[in-house]
């Protein structure tokens, strides 16, 4: 018997465009020195949440079905592919529904990159344009008088 509730995951109805919160179990392996100078391996599990936009769902409700989730973390796009029926996934929550007119939303990668490059170009333009030095009226009169002679 599988530890995953198959019927619950099958009826989840994940679609591209949805924002989901996936809680994943992560096993960390740590080596510690004991008093007799031997290394002891320990493992502990923790839960990690990955929240983002569903880009694609592949292989439907089959046992090998997967879904791709994308999020932007500190300006860098991160994508993860999760198996739908993995026992390492403890919970999948649909935060909000999205309306998508495509089955795969891969074009969002390029769209996000264009927005970032546009922002960088605007910042660069702001740095290049420098204010002109102000000329006082007395200096301009002196310069004009010198040019006449």
Residue 46 forms part of a structural domain? yes
- pLDDT digits over 70-88, tens only? 998 888 889 999 999 999 9
Q: Domain with 65 in it: what CATH number?
A: 2.30.30.790
Which positions ≥6 away from 105 have C-beta within 8 Å?
A: 16, 17, 53, 54, 55, 56
Q: How far is the C-alpha of 135 from the C-alpha of 131, rounded, in Å? A: 12
User: Domain for residue 113, yes or no?
Assistant: no
Q: What digits encode the pLDDT tens for the residues 35-51?
A: 777 778 888 899 999 99
pTM above 0.75, yes or no: no
C-alpha dihedral (74, 75, 76, 81), degrees to nearest 10: 70
> Does residue 41 fall inside a structural domain?
yes
- Mean pLDDT over 115-137 rounds to 71
Classify residue 42: in a domain, yes or no.
yes
In a domain, 63, yes or no: yes
* Alpha-helix residue ranges (DSSP H) falling in the chain: 6-10, 107-128, 137-148
In tens, the pLDDT along 1-42 reads 457 788 888 888 889 999 999 999 999 888 877 777 777 888
Whether residue 126 lies inside any domain: the answer is no
| Domain annotation covers residue 115 | no
Boundaries of domain holding 58:
6-105
On whether the CB atoms of residues 43 and 30 are closer than 8 A, the answer is yes
State how many domains the chain has. 1
């Amino acid at each position: 018997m599988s530890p995953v509730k198959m019927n619950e995951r099958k009826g989840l109805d994940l679609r591209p465009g949805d924002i989901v919160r996936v809680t994943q179990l992560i096993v960390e392996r740590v080596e510690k020195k004991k008093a007799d100078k031997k290394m002891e391996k320990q493992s502990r599990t923790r839960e990690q949440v990955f929240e983002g936009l569903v880009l694609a769902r592949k292989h439907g409700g089959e046992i090998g079905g997967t879904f791709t989730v994308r999020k932007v973390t500190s300006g860098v796009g991160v994508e993860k592919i999760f198996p739908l029926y993995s026992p390492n996934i403890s919970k999948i929550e649909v935060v909000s529904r999205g309306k998508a007119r495509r089955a795969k939303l891969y074009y969002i990668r390029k769209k996000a990159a264009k927005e970032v490059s546009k922002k960088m170009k605007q910042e660069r333009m702001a740095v290049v344009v420098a204010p002109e030095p102000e000329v006082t009226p007395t200096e301009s009169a002196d310069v004009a008088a010198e040019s006449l002679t």
